[in-house]
């Protein structure tokens, strides 16, 4: 009888632990997919079990004492008035200190390990946190993407993180990784310069992105795949919708991607709705966006700006608006109609485009592969 | 000398000394620490209902993925106000309620050192809360988080964060004044024989908390003033484009904010240290060690603040230092837990409601403490920081810890304060309801955080696979609400019984139980003379030569105070504390809307202080 009563909660607890972790979680720090995330995970797991052991001992003692020394009917008198025991006090001061020292050693070595600049075949990427989207700039490759960070597997990616935006006096907040506008364009900085935090749990821990500071972190993926991440530090109205994806390619796949990204966009054939869309784009959207390869009617290049995402390969992406929305015609129409009504606080204003203009713009954007 | 007395004579006309002892005006003008304690308690419980409602709305919004019950802007206001409310207007004032009511009784004093200042603290706190809440009707509530990180808190176009800065400054004045008052009370007002090491642990924790407040509030005050200046006067303290630094705010905030965590938890630790011995019928195990570990926590608590900032890029050396200091603070915390276990060991444990909450406190606090140690493991914290894992952790500390302790304290001292018991059966129903609801609400958040859910997000996509535990958590939150409802019913019911309470219904150990329930205005007919720790217990029980504990034949537990003593001087009630506090929110509105109001507020407060200083003593 007694054994049975012990068995039931025991089994229940086991079932709970097994069921606790959702198997379908897709942004999961418990499923590290690269050496840098593994370092954090390899520290968390043993510490978790140490904590679990202490939990069992302390809560076990609590339950045991509460049960064993409960008041029983008919018990007379008052228990002996024990005031303490110095030896015990010393023991339970020193013992936890020793356990913690044991935890501290691997903690400290890993802190310094993670702070080291990676060596060898490193890919350098600048990560720029905007309100509320991510810009990824590849200075050596000359590539600029929004909300999608493409990386090769098996290579450490060294990220330089900066916040972009205006200080509250309206001046541009200084930032080391400001890539600057396209040649010949007026720089356009949109949105407030606030703190963000870059987190893609399956590939690395968190690093804050702070106005006026430059932070660094390393991540690496072992296997090709899509790893999701999002801004972790509250950064204003649409903090929720500052998501991004890291897309890991095989090394060959990455090289192919780089080559593709380095190509300028082709102009749509004259007379098509897409060409009309390109014209609208050249008139209004270039105030904040740029498309490499965009030309006016005379074939002269139209220089865009860098306040919003560079859209040269927009249609090759999966998501936009801080990865709030999947790229498809419906979402694009909804967005172009009135961005702030879709994404609260969006710095892209409502341009009062007619349904026809919206269709033309969508047609043009769809050509940007 | 002569001119001073003339001035005193003439000042009599400013405002007559109030005389009401019952009714509305008696509460407005009271300087009695017991009435003020009750005011703090009732106000804190009201704010708890408000903050709890905010929590329920948040949980409703997160119950399912991709929901839009609350807009991002409403959601940001709600999580900000929930945090501000629970920290500054629930747990802190509820602790203040216990300190105010109990410290003078426990040390054998007739009141606190500065009774009118005590009243001023309460009114300033209340008006600070009302001020912040009025923002809902004046252009939007604070929406930058209770942590108010700059520059976001500065650039936000709504008025919310200005209300935040000013409201917390007002509440901070209240807390600072009260901290000094209570610290002086503990140091100077103890009864004869009440040496420091005969004080109940609750009083000790009270002293440590007041000192933490007195040293940490000035730091947040600097931060809040800078925030206010940045928002209203065009300064650039936190703006890097003009030479400011966003991290300055974080250092100031957390250098206050981490001691604040101990300001919230130490009172509950003190309460539990009082309740466990009474219902285990044994003295507290290792009294000195519990006291010294509390002092150690207070000191080390000032050296761990940057563990809130491991991801900001302070560098490996700073992260190492703060990781290790965070581990160190676990040691004195552990000492406390082991001593509570030692108190239970070989006891004769009665499962009253206060005891259940105290045992629940230990059980839940251990979980929060252990998850806290995992934050000290810096690289693992790089993953967990700003996720729901942290939300889980601090709710285990602040709800499973602080609130459980405070709820236990409510059940334990209710008969002392109101002369009526709370119903024990309902109390147990409440305990189990809250225990189950609490673990359902916050246990799953550990998993959610580890599996990729950041804090402060208004919604999450279904693809993240976080739906199930979010739903469980929401259900848990509503079970907690049920438990709170049980408490409200129990509280109301208690007032429908006649007031016929003995002085010492629990067979307790400390001085507050030596006087009647509720105590007379003057607390004790005669100031008690203290001979040792657990004074009241030793009046009732003696140890025989064989080491057995037997009741003292004279029956020392009888009511020794009757409340009919004459000739005891008590501080008279006064209008001034209330009037002086009125100027603060007035000036606060002025800073937002119209400079003339600032002048009006200053005039009100300064005039009241003038009248206060020269107020003649009551006849």
What is the average pLDDT value for chain A, to the nearest integer? 91
Residue A187 — very low, low, confident or very high, per pLDDT cuts 50/70/90?
Answer: confident
DSSP secondary structure code for residue A136 in this structure: E
| Å between A188 CA and nearest CA of chain B | 16
| Å between B202 CA and nearest CA of chain A | 17
User: Does the pLDDT of residue B114 top 80, yes or no?
Assistant: yes
CA-to-CA dists, residue A292 to A111, A142, B130, angstroms: 41, 11, 55
Beta bridge partners of A295: A301
Closest CA in chain A for residue B350: A71
Cβ–Cβ below 8 Å for A78 and B549? yes
**CA-to-CA distance for A206 and B380, rounded, in angstroms?**
10
Assess B334–A contact: CB distance below 8 Å, yes or no: yes
pLDDT, tens digit (0-9, with 9 covering 90-100), for B122-161 = 999 999 999 999 999 999 999 999 999 999 999 999 999 9
* Statement to judge: residues B479 and B605 lie in one domain: no
pLDDT, tens digit (0-9, with 9 covering 90-100), for B595-608 = 999 999 999 999 99
* Statement to judge: residues B10 and B50 lie in one domain: no
What's the mean pLDDT in B194-199? Answer: 96
Query: What ipTM is given for this predicted complex?
Result: 0.93
* Statement to judge: residues B8 and B48 lie in one domain: no
Handedness of CA B332, B337, B339, B342 (dihedral sign): negative
What Rg value do the Cα atoms of chain B yield, rounded? Answer: 25
Contact B384, B450 (CB under 8 A): yes
In the CATH scheme, what architecture does the domain A273-366 have?
Sandwich (2.60)
* Statement to judge: residues B246 and B358 lie in one domain: yes
Please report, in angstroms and rounded to a whole number, the separation of the first and last CA atoms in chain A.
70
User: Does the pLDDT of residue A243 top 60, yes or no?
Assistant: yes
**CA-to-CA distance for B611 and B619, rounded, in angstroms?**
17
* Statement to judge: residues B124 and B163 lie in one domain: yes
Q: Which of A76-85, A143-152, B241-250, B433-442 has the lowest mean pLDDT?
A: A76-85
Residue A9 — very low, low, confident or very high, per pLDDT cuts 50/70/90?
Answer: low
Listed by start position, the domains of chain A span 123-260, 273-366
Beta bridge partners of A125: A159
Cβ–Cβ below 8 Å for B451 and A28? yes
* pLDDT given at position B148: 96
> Residue B335 is part of which domain span?
31-562+569-573
* Statement to judge: residues B611 and B552 lie in one domain: no
pLDDT, tens digit (0-9, with 9 covering 90-100), for B510-560 = 999 999 999 999 999 999 999 999 999 999 998 777 778 888 876 544 445
* Statement to judge: residues B473 and B583 lie in one domain: no
- The rounded Cα B49 to chain-centroid distance in angstroms is 15
* pLDDT given at position B470: 97
- From B330, B350, B454, residue closest to A96, measured CB to CB: B330
* Statement to judge: residues B307 and B232 lie in one domain: yes
Assess B548–A contact: CB distance below 8 Å, yes or no: yes
pLDDT, tens digit (0-9, with 9 covering 90-100), for A16-46 = 665 677 678 999 999 999 999 999 999 999 9
Q: Of the candidates A306, A307, A308, A314, which has an alpha carbon nearest to the alpha carbon of residue A278?
A: A314
* pLDDT given at position B16: 73
| Å between A345 CA and nearest CA of chain B | 9
Determine which helix (DSSP H) or strand (DSSP E) holds B118, and give its type and residue range.
Answer: helix B115-134
Can A123-260 and A273-366 be said to share one CATH topology?
A: yes
**CA-to-CA distance for A219 and B179, rounded, in angstroms?**
48
What tokens does A104 get?
A: 């501290």
Which residues from A are below 8 Å from B385, CB to CB? 206, 232
Cβ–Cβ below 8 Å for A82 and B247? no
What's phi and psi for B563, nearest 5 deg?
75, 20
What's the mean pLDDT in A238-263? Answer: 97
Residue A162 — very low, low, confident or very high, per pLDDT cuts 50/70/90?
Answer: very high
Cα atoms in the 13 Å half-sphere on the side-chain side of A353: 26
User: Does the pLDDT of residue A179 top 80, yes or no?
Assistant: no
* Statement to judge: residues B602 and B500 lie in one domain: no
- β-pairing, A157-163 vs A123-130, is parallel
* Statement to judge: residues B8 and B133 lie in one domain: no
* Statement to judge: residues B301 and B396 lie in one domain: yes
Residue A2 — very low, low, confident or very high, per pLDDT cuts 50/70/90?
Answer: very low
Window B:95-114, CB contacts with A under 8 Å: none
Which residues, other chains included, contact A139 with Cβ-Cβ below 8 Å and sequence gap of 6+? A124, A126, A179
Domain count, chain B: 2
What tokens does A128 get?
A: 């720029």
* Statement to judge: residues B185 and B225 lie in one domain: yes
Cα atoms in the 13 Å half-sphere on the side-chain side of A86: 0
Q: Of the candidates B236, B343, B235, which has an alpha carbon nearest to the alpha carbon of residue B280?
A: B343
* pLDDT given at position A175: 82
What's the mean pLDDT in B162-168? Answer: 98
What is the average pLDDT value for chain B, to the nearest integer? 93
What's the mean pLDDT in B242-266? Answer: 96
What's phi and psi for A102, nearest 5 deg?
-60, -35
CATH number of A123-260: 2.60.40.420
pLDDT, tens digit (0-9, with 9 covering 90-100), for B428-471 = 999 999 999 999 999 999 999 999 999 999 999 999 999 999 99
User: Does the pLDDT of residue B51 top 50, yes or no?
Assistant: yes
Assess B142–A contact: CB distance below 8 Å, yes or no: no
Which residues from B are below 8 Å from A89, CB to CB? 286, 289, 335, 339
């Amino acid at each position: 009888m007694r054994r049975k009563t012990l068995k039931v909660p025991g089994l229940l607890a086991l079932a709970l632990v097994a069921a606790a972790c959702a198997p379908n979680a897709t942004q999961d720090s418990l499923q590290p997919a690269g050496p840098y995330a593994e370092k954090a995970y390899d520290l968390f797991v043993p510490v978790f079990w140490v904590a679990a052991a202490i939990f069992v001992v302390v809560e076990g003692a609590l339950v045991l004492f509460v049960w064993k020394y409960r008041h029983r009917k008919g018990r007379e008198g008052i228990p002996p008035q024990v005031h303490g025991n110095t030896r015990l006090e010393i023991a339970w001061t020193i013992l936890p200190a020793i356990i913690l020292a044991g935890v501290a050693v691997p903690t400290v070595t890993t802190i310094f390990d993670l702070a080291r600049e990676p060596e060898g075949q490193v890919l350098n990427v600048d990560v720029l946190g905007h309100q509320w989207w991510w810009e990824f700039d590849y200075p050596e490759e000359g590539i600029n993407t929004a909300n999608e960070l493409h990386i090769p597997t098996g290579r450490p990616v060294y990220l330089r993180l900066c916040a972009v935006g205006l200080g509250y006096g309206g001046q541009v907040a200084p930032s080391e990784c400001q890539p600057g506008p396209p040649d010949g364009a007026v720089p356009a900085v949109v949105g407030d310069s606030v703190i963000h935090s870059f987190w893609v749990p399956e590939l690395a821990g968190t690093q804050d992105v702070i106005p006026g500071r430059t932070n660094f972190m390393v991540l690496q993926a072992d296997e090709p795949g899509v790893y999701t991440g999002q801004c972790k530090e509250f950064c204003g109205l649409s903090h929720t919708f500052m998501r991004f994806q890291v897309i890991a390619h095989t090394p060959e796949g990455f090289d192919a991607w780089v080559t593709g990204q380095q190509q300028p966009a082709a102009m749509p054939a004259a007379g098509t709705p897409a060409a009309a869309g390109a014209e609208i784009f050249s008139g209004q959207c270039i105030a904040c966006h740029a498309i490499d390869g965009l030309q006016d009617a005379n074939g002269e290049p139209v220089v865009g700006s860098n306040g919003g995402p560079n859209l040269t390969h927009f249609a090759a992406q999966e998501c936009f608006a801080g990865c709030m929305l999947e790229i498809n015609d419906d979402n694009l129409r909804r967005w172009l109609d009135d961005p702030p009504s879709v994404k609260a606080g969006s710095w892209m204003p409502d341009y009062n485009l007619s349904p026809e203009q919206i269709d033309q713009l969508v047609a043009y954007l769809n050509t940007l592969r | 000398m002569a001119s001073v007395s003339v001035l005193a004579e003439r000042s009599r006309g400013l405002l007559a000394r109030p005389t009401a002892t019952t009714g509305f005006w008696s509460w407005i003008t009271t300087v009695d620490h017991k009435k003020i304690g009750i005011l703090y308690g009732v106000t804190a419980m009201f704010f708890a209902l408000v903050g709890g409602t905010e929590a329920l709305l948040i949980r409703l919004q997160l119950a399912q993925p991709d929901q839009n019950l609350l807009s991002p802007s409403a959601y940001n206001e709600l999580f900000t106000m929930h945090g501000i409310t629970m920290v500054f207007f629930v747990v802190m004032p509820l602790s203040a309620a216990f300190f105010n009511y109990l410290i003078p009784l426990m040390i054998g004093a007739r009141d606190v050192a500065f009774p009118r200042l005590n009243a001023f603290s309460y009114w300033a706190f209340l008006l600070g809360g009302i001020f912040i809440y009025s923002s809902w009707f004046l252009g939007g509530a604070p929406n930058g988080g209770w942590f108010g990180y700059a520059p976001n808190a500065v650039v936000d176009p709504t008025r919310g964060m200005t209300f935040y800065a000013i409201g917390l400054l007002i509440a901070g004045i209240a807390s600072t004044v009260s901290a000094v008052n209570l610290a002086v009370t503990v140091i100077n007002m103890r009864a004869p024989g009440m040496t420091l090491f005969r004080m109940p642990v609750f009083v000790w924790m009270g002293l440590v908390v007041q000192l933490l407040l007195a040293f940490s509030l000035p730091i947040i005050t600097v931060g809040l003033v800078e925030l206010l200046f940045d928002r209203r006067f065009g300064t650039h303290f936190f703006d890097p484009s003009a030479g400011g630094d966003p991290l300055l705010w974080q250092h100031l905030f957390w250098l206050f904010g981490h001691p604040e965590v101990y300001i919230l938890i130490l009172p509950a630790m003190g309460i539990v240290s009082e309740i466990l011995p009474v219902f285990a019928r044994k003295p507290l195990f290792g009294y000195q060690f519990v006291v010294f570990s509390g002092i150690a926590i207070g000191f080390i608590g000032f050296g761990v603040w940057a563990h809130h900032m491991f991801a900001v890029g302070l560098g490996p050396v700073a992260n190492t230092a703060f990781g290790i200091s965070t581990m160190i603070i676990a040691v004195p915390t552990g000492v406390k837990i082991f001593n509570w276990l030692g108190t239970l060991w070989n006891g004769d444990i009665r499962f009253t409601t206060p005891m259940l909450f105290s045992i629940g406190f230990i059980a839940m606090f251990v979980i929060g403490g252990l998850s806290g140690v995992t934050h000290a493991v810096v690289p693992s914290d790089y993953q967990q920081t700003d996720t729901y894992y942290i939300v889980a952790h601090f709710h285990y500390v602040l709800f499973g810890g602080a609130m459980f302790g405070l709820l236990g304290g409510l059940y334990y001292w209710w008969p002392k304060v109101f002369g009526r018991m709370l119903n024990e059966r309902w109390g147990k129903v409440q305990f189990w309801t809250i225990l189950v609801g609490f673990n359902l609400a916050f246990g799953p958040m550990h998993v959610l955080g580890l599996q990729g859910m950041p804090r402060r997000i208004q919604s999450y996509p279904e693809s993240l696979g976080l739906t199930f535990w979010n739903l469980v958590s929401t259900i848990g939150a509503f079970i907690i609400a049920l438990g709170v409802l049980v408490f409200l019913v129990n509280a109301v019911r208690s007032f429908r019984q006649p007031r016929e309470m003995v002085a010492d219904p629990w067979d307790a150990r400390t001085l507050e139980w030596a006087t009647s329930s509720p105590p007379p205005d003057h607390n004790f007919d005669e100031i008690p003379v203290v001979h040792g720790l657990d004074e009241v217990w030793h009046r009732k029980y003696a140890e025989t030569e064989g080491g057995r504990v037997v009741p003292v034949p004279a029956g020392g537990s009888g009511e020794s105070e009757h409340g009919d003593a004459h000739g005891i001087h008590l501080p008279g009630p006064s209008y001034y504390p209330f009037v002086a506090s009125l100027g603060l929110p007035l000036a606060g509105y002025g800073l937002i809307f119209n400079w003339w109001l600032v002048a009006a507020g200053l005039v009100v407060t300064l005039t009241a202080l003038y009248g206060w200083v020269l107020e003649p003593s009551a006849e």
